[in-house]
Structure 1
Amino acid sequence: MALDGEGLLARLRTELPGLPEALQRVAELILRDPEEAAQSTIVDLAERSGTSPATVTRFCRTLGFRGYAGLRVAIATEIGRAAQARWEIDVDRDIAPDHPLQRVLGVIVNADTQAIRETADRLDLTAVEVVASSIAESIGSGRRVEVFGVGSSAAATTELVFRLQRLRVACWHRAEAHSALSSAALLRPGDLAIGVSHSGRTREVIEFLSEAAEHGAMTVAVTSYPRSPLAESAELVLTTETHETSFRLAALSALHSQLLVLDLVYVAVAQRSHPAVDEAFELTARAVQTHRLPEHPIRKGKHR
């Protein structure tokens, strides 16, 4: 399926390391100056990237375009949308040790906001629908949902499990690889396994999904690299985007995008479980009510 304008440059940045060397040169040239690339002929782009028109055509088809014209339109469309929304294609990501917090805040907000928007633009909503329906159908059926991620991705998986459990989903997150692999080995057809890894190359998460697939469970990868080993081992792939900043490498910057994707899955499950969701929320809220301090009315005027 061809990429549309939205998210094209972000996808090039993400997939650049996995492309063959000749295609990398084409991608790097486009990323350095998207506006000039959109105005170049295929011969110009080939010469400036040190490749050939045939290589540029192969590059286009690798991205899902029929030819170079489609790629040029997609680049121009993205540039136009970014300009209209006053978005910068390349967000300033540099944070120096002596930068004031106001500047640091702006860099982080710009980077994370753009990553979240690009994640939304590129997300396969059909795949989200399938995942959410499978989880919703598991409620009360004895079917299980296992979620696994390590490092920074563990924060996102833990949050998803916490939310799904409040919907009565039989859902678990295993904190270490042996426990996750053992649980994956006990999954059956109808169960669901979700593996989260920004790079898609975390060995433990790949092994977890592969083990689950071997026993017939549906497998889902949440990753920034749709051609990674993790994605290749999964039936469904939910992609995330990320923008690094100083002091925050890609894996650390990916958390907000991961949370967006998993939160969408959670809300979609809740939609399909209504009105049972309201009952579950009421029961859980009542259970923890005694652990909350009582609310006091806001006092107006001067204290007497």
Structure 2
Amino acid sequence: MNGGLISIQEAITSLKPSERKVAEYIINFPEEVLNLSIQKLSQRTEVSEATIIRLARTLNYKGFQELKLRIAGDLATKSSSSNHSYQEISIDGSVDSFIANVSNNNIQSINDTISVLSKEEVEKAIIALGSARKIALYGIGASGLIAQDFKQKLSRINRWCEAAVDYDTQGTISANLEESDVVFGISYSGQTKDIIHSLKVAKDNGAKVITLTKYGSNPVSELADIKLFTSSLEKSIRSGAMSSRISQLNVIDILYVGMTSRNYEESVAALERTRKAVEDLKKHV
């Protein structure tokens, strides 16, 4: 059980001033915090005990004790790892450094996402997607590519879905969704206005809302019935949203495998049909 420090780092800019004060203390003195009671931490940071509890709940933990357990897991993982941080990618670097640093950051992003990804929310998402009449996938820019990738996967296992990567299409689809449908909004920042508005329309029509954003409170995730988070503390060079894209794709793959395993025989049959159809098509091209 880990992810405490990662979740704090991801959410710190969106925290209230009093919560941020506690968060910064934890980041600076994690080992010390493990040995402090909530009363002692309250005294050290000069905030109320209620603020500390509120911080833990903002991070989606039950309370201070769970947050401490997560931090302890982080420290144990860090001590057993020789490379537990994102690497700066310099434009003046060598090809060797590009290979090493980009690969390291992508691996780190996936590991950190595992730390902040709720097993319960993943389970809910798999069930909701598997039982939906229609699935609408929304993303803009790089997130639109993630939506299109998920559509391709779901289509192969015979799930009705549509990937909309522009506002007009998203708005049109949202207007016709119903209670038996699911809308899946993808936005790394959680601030994309077109996604926010489209999700609101879908939610007003009764559709279940699933979101995939970076960790922490944001306008997109606040609309969700099911919240999925990724972690990606990217360095200054952000060419095409590198590690954040990798962590998003990893979550999509998790959902796809979960859906396939729940309806294994039907999924395998659908995969075989689509494989054969593509092969037959190639013969006539």
User: Could you tell me which amino acid in structure 2 is paired with residue 59 of structure 1?
Assistant: I
State the number of aligned residues.
280
Shift of 1:231: 1.1
Q: Distance in 2 between matches of 1:250 and 1:63?
A: 32
- Aligned-partner SS, 2:224: coil
Shift of 1:26: 2.9
Q: Distance in 2 between matches of 1:210 and 1:37?
A: 40
- Preserved contact between residue 193 and residue 218 of structure 1 (Cα < 8 Å): yes
Structure 2 residue 240 is matched with structure 1 residue 254: no
Shift of 1:53: 4.6
- Preserved contact between residue 200 and residue 223 of structure 1 (Cα < 8 Å): yes
- Preserved contact between residue 7 and residue 78 of structure 1 (Cα < 8 Å): yes
Structure 2 residue 72 is matched with structure 1 residue 79: no
**Partner residue in 2 for 1:302:** none
- Preserved contact between residue 107 and residue 245 of structure 1 (Cα < 8 Å): no
**Partner residue in 2 for 1:210:** 200
**Partner residue in 1 for 2:48:** 54
Question: Unpaired runs of 5+ in structure 2?
Answer: none
Shift of 1:243: 2.5
**Partner residue in 1 for 2:170:** 180
**Partner residue in 2 for 1:225:** 215
Q: 1:47 to 1:102 in 2, by over 3 A?
A: farther
Structure 2 residue 2 is matched with structure 1 residue 6: yes
- Aligned-partner SS, 1:98: coil
Shift of 1:36: 5.1
Q: 1:189 to 1:44 in 2, by over 3 A?
A: closer
Alignment RMSD, CA only?
Answer: 2.7
Instruction: Write out per-residue CA displacement over residues 207-249 of structure 1, whole angstroms, 9 at most, x where no aligned residue.
Output: 1111111101111111113421111111110111112023127
User: Could you tell me which amino acid in structure 2 is paired with residue 27 of structure 1?
Assistant: A
**Partner residue in 2 for 1:102:** 96
**Partner residue in 1 for 2:185:** 195
Identify the match of residue 113 of structure 2 among 115, 119, 130. 119
- Aligned-partner SS, 2:48: helix
| Structure with a larger share of its residues in helix | 2
Q: 1:231 to 1:68 in 2, by over 3 A?
A: closer
Q: Distance in 1 between matches of 2:7 and 2:101?
A: 21
Question: Unpaired runs of 5+ in structure 1?
Answer: 294-304
Q: Relative contact order: is structure 1 or structure 2 higher (C-alpha 8 Å, sep ≥ 6)?
A: 2
